[in-house]
A and B are shown apart, each in its own frame.
Chain A
Amino acid sequence: MKYICSVCRYVYDEEKEGTPFSELPESWVCPLCGAARSAFVPEEGEERPAPAVKPAAAPVHEGDEEMKELSFGALAALCSNLARGCEKQYKAEESALFLKLAEYFTAASPAPARAGLEELDGLFSADLAAGYPALRTAADEEGDRGTARICVWGEKVTAILHTLMQRYKREGDAFLRDTRIWVCSICGFVYVGDRPPALCPVCKVPAWKLEEVEGRASK
């Protein structure tokens, strides 16, 4: 029996590996992308894996949902995205100005009332359970494949972040000690290991697009 990673398509072949999938420890992660064991689905009759937390209810679109204003934090991301758009067009001055606006919105964004690793992981679970399914449904209904693509990448990256938070909760600093952490500069995929994979498991860009996260500057 074969099991496929829903993030990167890595194949776990029980015959070759020698250990039945069901006997792998809960702490086992995908050797290619680091996704949790629960992200794997059997090869036959493959389906989208059920989200870890069930969506509360099917999203309703009766015009009763009001379009939310973007928060300062979201406007910061909107501006830093436009800065990238200018950079790609070799518009250095415009890029710097958008970055200035992004920095303003980041600094002016109110600090969260409650912050903790549990709360942070809770936000990832909420996106996986409700945020992405709602967006994907709307995108499919409109035939909006650009937004559907956002859901494919975003869901995978969020699943990885969720796995990392779970691992930290279980193993603490140990799994990060003496190793490096990488972030894909295109899709936000996070990889823990000495060398990044040859291709980003989520968006498939080459390894040089993955950037290492520097440690805290020593005092």
Chain B
Amino acid sequence: MKMLAVRNLRLCTKDCLCLYVCPTGATDTEDSIIDLSKCIGCGMCADACPSKAISMVPEEYPPQQKKAEHVLTPSHTLANNKAKAEGMARLLAREAESGELYRLLKAVERSLRLVNEDLLRESGYMLPQSANTHELLASWVQEPPAPDFPVEAAKKLLELLPCNEPLEKKMHKYRCTVCGYIHEAEELPPDFSCPVCRQPASAFERIE
């Protein structure tokens, strides 16, 4: 698995040993962020760093754990309630008469957003590269949730982000009306014929 070096700027103590050991100069940048186009993933910088500020991460992330629908149902209910409270706090902050109440409600609004982000992260949207994220973005491109929705942004994200797991195919079952043979596929090709009784695709009916 190809690895890449990333630097945690909060931990970096500028001892610069990573600059000495990097064979490609990827660690030496004007904004202290390791240049991923130059990084070859050798790990020398991470080993040399005395502050443990550099870690190696995979270029491709593994697929995320699937969430049970049984958990997602109460999770979505809670997420919608948090969103409702956040909207209410935002509105009340705008109308607040005192500076104290304004600050309190702004804190509540921010807190609710953070709690909801965390909740939705655990509801199958942890990684931007996940199939869930891709499917959601694709559904917005195909059918924008509102006429003024910024479709271009969703399209661009689909282009930029690789998907780290195979997208779930919608499989259907087709039954041969003559012999009862069942064929499973996304779609039945027009030149398909029944492997048992040789009937053409037109003899099949979709049952699922």
Contacts and interface: CB of A to CB of B under 8 A. Distances in A.
Contacts of A138: 68, 70-71, 73-75
Contacts of A115: 88, 91-92
B122 A146 contact: yes
A135 B83 contact: no
Contacts of A44: none
The range of chain A's interface size is: 35 or more
Contacts of A86: 128
A188 B83 contact: no
Interface stretch (A10-18, A35-43, A48-56, A151-159): A151-159
B160 A93 contact: yes
A77 B119 CA distance: 9
Contacts of A71: 80, 83-84
Contact of A213 (B73, B103, B148, B157): B103
Contact of A108 (B75, B122, B146): B146
Contacts of A3: none
Contacts of A185: 114
B70 A74 contact: no
A67 B73 CA distance: 5
B5 to A, nearest CB: 11
B150 interface: yes
B25 interface: no
A80 interface: yes
B184 to A, nearest CB: 25
A104 interface: yes
Interface string B148-173: 11100110110011000000000000
Given A70-B79, A104-B149, A98 B115 contact: no
A20 B118 CA distance: 38
Contact of B67 (A73, A94, A144, A189): A144
A29 interface: no
Nearest to A76: B83
A82 interface: yes
Interface string A133-170: 01100110110101101100110011001001100100
Interface in A97-119: 97-98, 100-101, 104, 108-112, 115-117, 119
Contacts of B161: 94
B57 to A, nearest CB: 8
Contacts of B53: none
A216 B102 contact: yes
B102 A85 contact: no
A67 B69 contact: yes
A134 B118 contact: no
5 contacts: A67-B76, A71-B83, A74-B79, A74-B82, A108-B149
Pairs A-B, 8 closest by C-beta atoms = A73-B83, A188-B114, A77-B116, A81-B117, A188-B111, A176-B100, A173-B100, A134-B74
Given A77-B116, A147-B71, A158-B115, 16 more contacts: A68-B76, A68-B77, A77-B120, A85-B126, A98-B157, A101-B150, A101-B154, A110-B87, A124-B85, A131-B74, A150-B122, A153-B115, A157-B115, A173-B100, A181-B107, A190-B107
